Copies of this chain bind each other. A is one copy, B any other.
């Protein structure tokens, strides 16, 4: 986190007006990463960041108070340029309001470098990139995690729910537990260095709102006990650097049985991934992306290749990503 802030400061020193200033021509480009939320047994409380994909925001200080969005690329026209309706500008505005800088004017370019509606925290990546950009431009050196409430405002707009399991890891990097929402209590978890993640996004439409709605409200205590045994096992495995324990613990008896119905050949893909040596396999966020943990890069690449091959065979396009866990979160790229 510290490194990112230092990096960000270095990057704007040459072109910026005095830090904290509101006018001039300072500009910054920020990348923020995709994230895998839920992580199989951690519905609504766990998430981690990956190295790719992710979104980019270019932010320029302007002389007119208020926020404009001059350009969005990579969204096929799906995202609003209206700053009152875009999650990036809305959360940036919340941030500026909170520090009493409604005098500040910025223009935003959003470059979507990852698919929308993929279950990989697409809106979170954009929001976090925007917030990290404005924070850096304003010379705000507090820890990035202080941006979490503003990022959650963006999530509320995008998904109808102020969840933090995508925005927290996108913002803080690494593996993150949202222990509690009221009050907000976020814990950064360690992870084994050799853990790789294989992600496949089958290009079918699973809107987050609908994916939430099919989750049952009433569940069996017995299933809940199974689930919290597993999340406790997963957290233990992360601390113990025990990838096998992590794998054994990544079972979801509550959400996956329902959400998997919206994902083509989910169980067949799981079988393939496990046979190829994955230690776990599950849905990323509310899907349709799926992910596997593996013990090395080679296995991760084999998994993405084979799953993509299968999806192609059944007529479904897909995107694949292979990554370790991204411990940095957002970073200045220009």
Contacts and interface: CB of A to CB of B under 8 A. Distances in A.
Interface size class of A (residues with CB under 8 A): 35 or more
Contact of A236 (B187, B215, B220, B225): B187
A152 interface: no
A218 B221 contact: yes
B230 A227 contact: no
Interface string A144-183: 0000000000000000000000000000000001111000
A312 B55 CA distance: 64
Interface in A221-236: 221-222, 224-236
A229 B224 CA distance: 12
A38 to B, nearest CB: 11
A224 B103 CA distance: 44
A43 B218 contact: no
Copies in the complex: 2
A185 interface: yes
Contacts of A221: 215-219, 254
**Residue of A224, A226, A254 with most partner-chain B CB within 10 A:** A224
Interface of A: 41-46, 177-180, 185, 187, 189, 215-222, 224-236, 239-240, 245, 248-249, 254
Given A42-B232, A44-B229, A177-B229, 8 more contacts: A45-B232, A177-B232, A179-B230, A179-B232, A179-B249, A218-B220, A219-B221, A224-B224
